[in-house]
Structure 1
Amino acid sequence: MIKHHPSDALLAQYASAALPASLNVAVAIHVDMCPCCKAKVAAIEAKNAKAIFTQPDTHFEQDDEIENSSLMLEAIMMDESVDDVYDVKPKQVTINKQNYQLPRALSRIAHSKFMQMGKLSRSRIALEDGPLRSSLFHIAAGGEIPEHTHTGFELTLLLDGEFSDETGDYVAGDFMWLDGRHDHTPITKNGCLCYTVVSSALHFNKGLSKLLNPIGNFIY
């Protein structure tokens, strides 16, 4: 069962289309997977709509403005052009001979080939989002990421499989937001695929893992 969710503030920003693209994708995926957050978003959207449509109407007080509005509506109604309608076809990726079906929100967004380093594999998602970098991140069975903290923030949305760290066990749909206050060592028994968004490189901070800091950008 999903135990970790976006904050109410993040859901409100999502419902108001106020998030950067990479974070918007993450929340969209989680909402598709989580009935609880889907209901929250629906409630926020209904509240937003009510607030808009119950505002005092001050834009159409003049007769000429009413006429212009009527002409505009007539033009819209007579427009026979339509947006293209398409089916969202399931899209799969294969990593280390294991197949994963990508969520609907990622089905039409390109991603790079997977780069592999030991049991870790990363594919960059093609989103131009300033300093934020989003990726598909795979940890093979028995793999782990050495203990690290974050020089910025790291959002991890578990798409498939499982992993655990010092704070608990995670399943598909769990949504985790970490920053410099958190140290953790993700490890998976059976393997996992995640969607990640980071704003800066990881920092390895324990023992020999400090030697990995020069390759922190592999994950960033």
Structure 2
Amino acid sequence: MSTVITNPPELQSTFVDSANMPWQPTEFEGIEMKLLYKDDHGRSTILFKMAPGAVVPLHEHTDLEQTYMLEGSLEDDEGKCTANTFVWRPGGNKHIARSPNGAVFISIFNRPNKFMDGAKFFTSDE
């Protein structure tokens, strides 16, 4: 005998069929995304796809950022994140991210990034 737990609507799980979501362009050439989660506090979870040679320009992580690499690689001056590896960056970290051979990865942000050229982050409404 199993117990059935019924949460009220505001506490129920939300399932996202990411495989059937279309890739959305970003303002950065060669970078597409699927926005899996976003809330009013600036938190987001995003599946990214970068074409070979694509670059995320100089930006600052305004809070903790976590990335798990599914395919390919993402590089900066501090190192390289390859398939099945994980990297996290504290708030205040600044870097330029490059993907020489292309990449697919999932990133979790506590707040949107701040781009040095004034570009708005993918989830920024400012």
**TM-score interval (norm. to shorter):** 0.7 to 0.9
Deviation at residue 148 of structure 1 after TM alignment: 0.9
Report the equivalent of 1:211: 118
What is the aligned-residue RMSD (CA, Å)?
A: 2.3
Q: 2:82 aligns with which of 165, 171, 174?
A: 171
1:120 aligns with 2:27: no
Separation of aligned partners in 2, 1:110 and 1:123:
11
Q: 1:187 to 1:219 in 2, by over 3 A?
A: farther
Separation of aligned partners in 2, 1:168 and 1:202:
19
Q: 1:178 to 1:133 in 2, by over 3 A?
A: same
Deviation at residue 184 of structure 1 after TM alignment: 1.1
SS at structure 1 position matched to 2:118 = helix
Separation of aligned partners in 2, 1:151 and 1:194:
20
Equivalent AA in structure 1 for residue 17 of structure 2: A
| Structure 2 unaligned regions, length at least 5 | 3-14
Report the equivalent of 1:180: 91
Any residues of structure 2 matched to 1:47-86 within 5 Å, and which?
A: 76=1
TM-score (norm 2): 0.73
* Structure showing the higher strand proportion among its residues: 2
Deviation at residue 135 of structure 1 after TM alignment: 1.3
Deviation at residue 150 of structure 1 after TM alignment: 1.2
Separation of aligned partners in 1, 2:79 and 2:25:
26
* Structure showing the higher helix proportion among its residues: 1
Separation of aligned partners in 2, 1:186 and 1:211:
17
Deviation at residue 180 of structure 1 after TM alignment: 2.2
Equivalent AA in structure 2 for residue 142 of structure 1: G
Runs of 4+ in structure 1 off by over 6 angstroms are none
- Is the CA contact 1:116–1:122 (under 8 Å) kept in the aligned structure 2? yes
Separation of aligned partners in 2, 1:170 and 1:110:
26
SS at structure 2 position matched to 1:186 = strand
Any residues of structure 2 matched to 1:1-220 within 5 Å, and which?
A: 76=1, 109-111=16-18, 112-117=21-26, 118-125=29-36, 127=37, 131=41, 132-205=43-116, 210-212=117-119, 215-216=120-121, 218=122
Identity of aligned residues (%): 22
Separation of aligned partners in 1, 2:110 and 2:77:
22
SS at structure 2 position matched to 1:190 = coil
Separation of aligned partners in 2, 1:189 and 1:159:
15
Q: 1:181 to 1:211 in 2, by over 3 A?
A: closer
| Structure 1 unaligned regions, length at least 5 | 1-75, 80-107
